[in-house]
Amino acid sequence: MSQFALIALAVLLLAVSSTFAQTTQPTTMPGSSDAAVKAAAREFMMALDDKDLAVARKLFAGTDQDFKIVELLHEKFQASQRLQTAAEARWPEEMKKRAVVDTNAKTMAANVDHQAVSFHGDVAVLKDGAALKNIDGRWQVVDVMSNPVDKGLVLGIFPSLSPVTSDVATAVQAGKYGSFDEAHKDLQKKVQAAVRARMKAATQATTNPTTKPAE
């Protein structure tokens, strides 16, 4: 992905922590293998690059609540790819000169190889917080983001980002922008506005509850 996708994914990249809170000391279960864990993690990350979310769903063994994070990531990756494709079609020469910043599923998969793995019983945790569980001898992803604070940020903000990214992609295809920089600035402005609106709505919901008093 180019800087286009980077702007839209910035919230996630800033939110994901590199630590995972543990209440027990790491222990290694019999047959634990960094290679096996990383292979399973890479397979799952690559599944997020598929247009069909069902591909990733088959590889996920976590809760429905935790899968919402996966859905948001998948939606964002697809929207960013659409924007990337539109920009490259609209300004092919200009985009060739741009530095490519890979923050997509493929790069996430490649980054797995560089991460340390800690074992906690039948659960393995990558340095970036992704957790996998050994189920019947097979490692499966059960959480892509272990930190609850980070989850709250993504669940609260990400639903607004994919529509914004798709809107800019449509505008690029329609020839609304005269240059990449113009589109880039508009995307940045729309992302910031979407985040502010989402945070404002969340604040109002907290300070002005809609529950009716008991009769």
Q: What are φ and ψ of residue 119, in 5° steps?
A: -110, 135
Average pLDDT over residues 184-210: 84
Q: What are φ and ψ of residue 131, in 5° steps?
A: -120, 140
Reading phi first (left if > 0) and then psi (alpha if -120 to 50, else beta), residue 137 is in: left
> Contacts for 119-124 with beta carbons within 8 Å, 24 or more apart?
119/26, 119/27, 119/28, 119/29, 119/32, 120/22, 120/24, 120/26, 120/27, 121/27, 121/29, 122/29, 124/32, 124/37
Q: Where is pLDDT greater, at 206 or 54?
A: 54
Assess whether pLDDT exceeds 60 at residue 20.
no
Assess whether pLDDT exceeds 70 at residue 22.
no
Assess whether pLDDT exceeds 50 at residue 10.
no
Per-residue pLDDT tens for 99-109?
554 467 888 88
Instruction: Enter the tokens of residue 170.
Output: 């449509």
Share of the chain above pLDDT 90, in %: 49
Per-residue pLDDT tens for 27-80?
444 445 899 999 999 999 999 989 999 999 999 999 999 999 999 999 988 998
Per-residue pLDDT tens for 118-152?
999 999 999 989 999 999 999 999 999 888 888 88
Q: Where is pLDDT greater, at 213 or 176?
A: 176
Binning pLDDT at 50, 70 and 90, where does residue 12 land? very low
CA angle 208, 191, 67 (to 5 degrees): 75
CB 99 within 8 A of CB 105: no
Residue 34 confidence (pLDDT) = 92
